[in-house]
Structure 1
Amino acid sequence: MKRGRHFALAYRRVFCMMARGRFWSALMKAAIAGLLLFLAATPASAAGSMAVTFVEDRAGQPLDLKGYGLTFNEEFDGPLSLQGPRLFAPVHTPIGAGKFDDPQGPAYAAVEVPGEDGRDVTALSITAYKDGGGWRSGNVQSADAAQSYRQAPFGGKGFACRGCYFEARLKFPQAAPGYWAAFWLLSPDQPGIGHVEVDVIEWYGGDPKGHHQSVHVWSKAAPAKHTFKSNFVGMKDVIADGRWHNYGALQQDGQIVFYVDRREISRVPVTAEFDVPLYALVSLSVLPKEAAAAVGPMVLYADYIRAYAPKGL
């Protein structure tokens, strides 16, 4: 009898534990189902996608700059200055696998590079190189830290422009794993709002999809912290042919139009957030997923960075 009571008590304890286990299992299943329903009902913008579409129906049309005038021109012909008044380095936080050099670092140099007509041109070189166990590279831009992040005015130094055409004449090496170069545009960061980004060209040296262009909104307002839309147009044989090419973007009439050698490659309509002044950046980084296969040094050359503004602006 005593042994029978002990068995009955033990049975009840086991039964209760099993019941509690089934309860928590059912509760967990319900929570997972609820989460899946929530994710399915969440707008696409919260997942990072902008509700815009790149179009290429006008690809090949020449750039028309009638009514525009050259308003910013850095040709790197004089002594290299990356502490103002026109360009600054690095300012932006490091991107990719490694760190950006300070203005006096070996990542930056003014060098003589063969031009298309056989004569040398003086160009900015940005080099990604191994430093101990890590990588170092560089970024230059037409806004200092106060202008980029603290709403300082662009009076007397730096440059930003609204409704302008931005262009950089660049030379990339042959395709190389880990190589990540970009000519891009940013708006000054606004408290509580954020900033926008236009990638005029991103060249991933190990990517067969070629010319990558994109638009981003980096919002500080919930729920969407970062939305973007990207596009690839090939042209790998052009980008990595070892020659100079012009890469540009025009901010006009609610859209961004992208160019290579002053011929349109694509355009995308953008939201009102993009109707703001933009400043220019040229950078070279190392793509993290290809860093182990990358072989340094890797170099990006910039002959000039220019901007054209509507006359009378």
Structure 2
Amino acid sequence: MGVRALLYAGLCLCLLGGCAAGAADTTEAELDLDGFRMTFDEPFDSLDVSAWGKPRTRWIAHTPWNGDFGDAKFTDPMDKFPFTIENGILRIEARRGDDGVWRSGLLASVDPDGNGFSQKYGYFEARMKVPPGKGVWPAFWLVGVDRTDHTPEIDVLEYYGHEPKRFSSAVHIWPKEHSELKPWHDVHHTRVDEVLADDYHLYGVMIDEQETVFYFDRRPVWRVPTPEQYKVRVFPLVNLALGSGWPIEETPNPSHLYVDYVRAWARE
């Protein structure tokens, strides 16, 4: 997660031979998953999480590469913070402590050794209710398991709390210093007719060999041609970060992201 202020401003750095992304036709029919099978189902009836996957757990509480971002530290799981489960809903809490430091939570389905759920192609979806308030920055995103030469990143949802009726989706390729690959970044902003924090919504992305299509409540909102670097195994992450270059002085303390489920499907 990076260069957020530039992306938010709408800067498109299409350095892989041109930018062919475009808004999807929202009059298309709702996503039909007939012919797909569910490959990952996290209903959050309970939470199997550890700091780093030792012992092996379904989720870890950090990025596998130990890369924090934003203005809140992602903490190891502890009693009732930053993760709680109630009635099949995960709550991720961001809280400013007595020491003035903000702390929050992140979940990733792959550990530093590459163990855990990942998948090449298919549909990935989370049902979430974002927090209200300036400075909140929740996200649902995918990252490639193999980061040897570059990091493919697909941001299904990024929400900036100061714009309550808009969210962003983004595509990235982050080359390593030794790589000959050029970076690629593009972003799309989806405006809706309601305050997103008022209710749960579905945020999803379909990746296949031809296209990567983003969905809001299972209606397409944006599509890009699938680059070669996305034709790999990716894994989901969900988190509540703060900031992204935006002030957090007015951020509600505490703030909560609610997640009903995280799921993935693959074509039969």
Bin for the TM-score computed over the shorter chain: 0.7 to 0.9
Q: Which one is further off, 229-238 or 196-205?
A: 229-238
**TM-score normalised by structure 2 residue count:** 0.83
TM-score by length of 1: 0.72
User: Mind listing any 5+ residue stretches in structure 2 that lack a counterpart?
Assistant: 1-12
Matched AA of 1:214: A
Go from structure 1 to structure 2 and tell me whether the alpha carbon gap of 1:262 and 1:54 turns closer, same or farther (over 3 Å shift).
Answer: same
- Structure having the higher strand fraction is 2
Query: Structure 1 50/136 Cα, relative in aligned 2: closer, same or farther at 3 Å?
Result: farther
Instruction: Please give the root-mean-square deviation of Cα atoms over the aligned residues, in Å.
Output: 2.3
Identity %: 34
How far 1:100 moved relative to its partner?
0.5
User: How far has the Cα of 1:204 moved from its partner?
Assistant: 0.6
1:252 aligns with one of 194, 197, 208: 208
Q: Distance in 2 between matches of 1:258 and 1:182?
A: 14
- Aligned 1:74-85 pairs, distance under 5 A: 74-82=42-50, 83=53, 84-85=56-57
Q: Secondary structure at the match of 1:293?
A: coil
86, 102, 110: which one aligns with 1:143: 110
The alpha carbon displacement at 1:238 in A equals 4.8
Instruction: Provide the C-alpha distance between the structure 2 equivalents of 1:270 and 1:134, rounded to a whole number of angstroms.
Output: 40
Paired residues in the alignment total 247
Counterpart mapping for 1:204-215 below 5 A: 204-207=160-163, 210-215=166-171
User: How far apart are 1:231 and its partner, in Å?
Assistant: 0.5
Name the residue aligned to 2:58. Answer: 86
What residue in structure 2 maps to residue 33 of structure 1?
Answer: none
Please give the residue correspondences for 1:27-106 in structure 2 after superposition, counting only pairs within 5 Å. 45=14, 51-82=19-50, 83=53, 84-91=56-63, 92-104=66-78, 106=80
**Is 1:305 paired with 2:262?**
yes
1:128 aligns with 2:94: yes
CA contact (8 A) 2:118 2:234 kept: yes
Query: Relative to 1, partners in 2 of residues 1:50 and 1:303: Cα closer, same or farther, differing over 3 Å?
Result: farther
Residues 159-216 of structure 1 deviation map (CA, whole Å, 9 limit, x = unaligned) = 0001110111111233x1000000000001332x111011111011113561200100
The 10-residue stretch of structure 1 (83-92 or 273-282) with the greater mean CA deviation from structure 2: 83-92
Q: Secondary structure of 2:191's match?
A: coil
Q: Residues of 1 paired with 2:18 and 2:91: CA distance? A: 34
- The one-letter amino acid of 2:107's match is V
Change (3 A) 1:303 1:247: same
Q: Is the 1:98–1:134 contact (alpha carbons within 8 Å) kept by the matching residues of 2?
A: yes
Moved more, 165-174 or 202-211: 202-211
* Mapping of residues 19-34 of structure 1, within 5 Å: none
Q: Structure 1 residues 253 and 79, CA, compared in 2 at 3 Å: closer, same or farther?
A: closer
Secondary structure of 1:284's partner? strand
Paired letter, 2:255: M
| Cα 1:238/1:292, change in 2 over 3 Å | closer
Relative contact order higher in (CA < 8 Å, ≥ 6 apart): 2
Q: Tell me, what secondary structure is at the counterpart of 1:146?
A: coil
Show the counterpart of 1:166: 124
Structure 1 position 111, deviation (Å): 3.0
Q: 1:81 to 1:293 in 2, by over 3 A?
A: same
What residue in structure 2 maps to residue 182 of structure 1?
139
For the structure 1 residues 271 and 142, does the alpha-carbon distance in structure 2 shift closer, same or farther, using more than 3 Å as the test? same
Inter-partner Cα distance in structure 2 for 1:213 and 1:299: 21
Mapped contact 1:211–1:236 kept (Cα < 8 A): no
Q: State which structure, 1 or 2, has the greater radius of gyration over its C-alpha atoms.
A: 1
Change (3 A) 1:236 1:109: farther
Shift of 1:104: 2.5
Structure with the bigger percentage of helix: 1
